[in-house]
Structure 1
Amino acid sequence: MRSQIAVAVMIAALVVAANARAAETRCGWIENPTPANWWLEDADNTWTIMTQGDDAGEPEGMELIPDISEHDYIKTNGNYGYACGCMSVETDGKERITKILSFRQLALAKCRADKTLRFPG
């Protein structure tokens, strides 16, 4: 019985470790130009978070992104625009964010100063 418990604990630890390794920290421009359209542009890629009418839908954890217009933000289209931020995410390894684990909005100056980032727009 003890050996079964030990094996179960080891398996659980491996699952937790595998999930922890799957998370990536991505920092850059958070773009929300129109309703239900969200991207993260970092030094490596333009990552699709969600697009209106896309069958993939909203990724798990989307509710972790607050109203970005309440902090350092640039309005480009009514209530829409872009901000600077960091996210802990899981991706498909290509172009899509599949899960959001955390979000932190940063000052616009942080992204503007990062020479590896292309300015949105």
Structure 2
Amino acid sequence: MHIPKIALPIISCLWMLVSSVHAAAAAKSETRCGWFDNPTPGNVWLHDRDGEWTIAIQGEYEAQGDWPRFNDSQWMSVNRSYGYGCACIKAVVNTMTRQIVSISSANARPLSACRKDPALKEPEG
């Protein structure tokens, strides 16, 4: 197949436009609320109404940004200092890999906020 020389710059521009629109859509922040589950060192997930989102896997992956800070009444301790709490996280996510890419803000919530939501299943302790 022969592509005229004049078409190549047009195709290139269209490809860059499509790529930049896709990248911009992928980089949109969203707020996700649910169970912030940290059962073992370096392993963290957020379980919300859409399912499980990976925040960190020890030695493999960790989202950029600060995790929520919980006080004693907001944290269910399991396995010493590990456990889970209820949180809302504003983050850039990758919906294909179900990973949280970067966290711009993270706020702990009362445990009752997640317990009252019928779409959320409390992690096992």
Q: What TM-score, normalized by structure 2, do the two folds share?
A: 0.73
- Residue 66 of structure 1 deviates from its aligned partner by 4.4
Instruction: Give the unaligned 5+ runs of structure 2.
Output: 1-23
User: Larger Cα Rg: Structure 1 or Structure 2?
Assistant: 2
**Residue 29 of structure 2 aligns with which residue?**
23
CA distances 1:66-110 after superposition (whole Å, capped 9, x unpaired) = 443545110011110000000001111131101101001000000
Structure 2 counterpart of 1:81: 83
- The counterpart of 2:62, out of the listed 36, 58, 64, is 58
Structure 1 residues 1-121: aligned runs within 5 Å: 18=24, 22-54=28-60, 57-61=61-65, 64-68=66-70, 70-94=72-96, 95-121=98-124
In angstroms, what is the RMSD of aligned CA positions? Answer: 1.9
Moved over 6 A (4+): none
% identical equivalent positions? 39
- Flag structure 1 segments of 5+ consecutive residues without an equivalent: 1-17
Structure with the largest fraction of strand: 2
TM-score by length of 1: 0.75
Query: How many equivalent pairs are there?
Result: 100
